[in-house]
Amino acid sequence: MSMRAPVANLPIHFDDVSFAVHGVTILDRINFAFVPGAPSVVIGPNGAGKTTLLRLAMGLIQPTSGRATWGGRTDAPLSRRAIVFQRPVMLRRSVAANLRYALEAAGVSRADHDARLGELLALVGLAELGDRPARKLSGGEQQRLALARALAKDPQVLFLDEPTASLDPAATKAVEDLVRDVAARGIKVVMSTHDLGEARRLAGDVVLMHRGRIVEASDAAAFFNNPITDGARRFVAGELLI
Ligand SMILES: Nc1ncnc2c1ncn2[C@@H]1O[C@H](COP(=O)(O)OP(=O)(O)OP(=O)(O)O)[C@@H](O)[C@H]1O
Ligand SMILES: [Mg+2]
């Protein structure tokens, strides 16, 4: 575990946050907070605004209006937050070299690289594949390597944008198990998916988005057993939100 002084990244609070590009509203007056605890799962159809919400919560883009805060601050550094994008890009190097690069970027001292490398490879189940070219890994293995790279930052909050989108059931299960491991270590996971089953399996709380708005946000049991809005009821029933 890291000895670095704690930085309060949570709660991540959105106060009337909107985000627009060239006058087109992509997120519309979001009032919501990600709080410590089990994974928060952002769910909704294509184009709902899930990725944009994650990018805002990570601090990669700024609200056009409204305010986003991390632990009450608008300027909390990104150093203890990490994000895995929908289509992670690997360096044209070995698995281990990709991880060493991430450790270097995270400011981990050279003396600690070997130990951390071993720990991260074991955590994501890639201990045997350290010497393989990263770009030759299967989709599921690449996703797990991307997770390990993100964990090199020793994050307090880990954002995962549709981490299982193109994976088969076995690879999906491996990533979902890893998400549970990471959450059990006390890391706050915020992930997006358009897979209702995945949300049921992993979520502590659910945020349903549609057309740039939050339709409903509640703890997972309430969301699935007793959805309040018509949109959430239809989504949980498996109808298409268009
Ligand atoms: N920088 C941008 N410029 C213009 N339009 C954008 C930009 N970023 C997002 N959008 C648009 O905003 C909407 C929401 O995009 P976003 O990627 O957040 O949705 P999503 O819920 O992640 O969708 P998906 O499930 O397909 O990944 C989309 O219509 C997208 O085209
Ligand atoms: Mg997306």
pTM for this structure? 0.95
The overall average pLDDT reported for the chain is: 95
For ligand 1, say whether the CB of 44 is within 6 Å of any of its atoms: yes
For 183-205, the pLDDT digits (tens) are 999 999 999 998 899 999 999 99
Ligand nearest to the CA of 160: 2
**Beta bridge partners of residue 103, listed in sequence order:** none
19 C-alpha vs ligand 1 centroid, how far in Å? 11
- Nearest protein Cα to ligand 1, atom 29: 47
Domains, the chain:
12-236 (3.40.50.300)
pLDDT reading at 68 higher than 70: yes
Q: How confident is the model at residue 2 (pLDDT cuts 50, 70, 90)?
A: very low
Q: Indicate which residue's Cα is closest to atom 10 of ligand 1.
A: 26
Q: What is the mean pLDDT of residues 75-83?
A: 94
78 pLDDT exceeds 80? yes
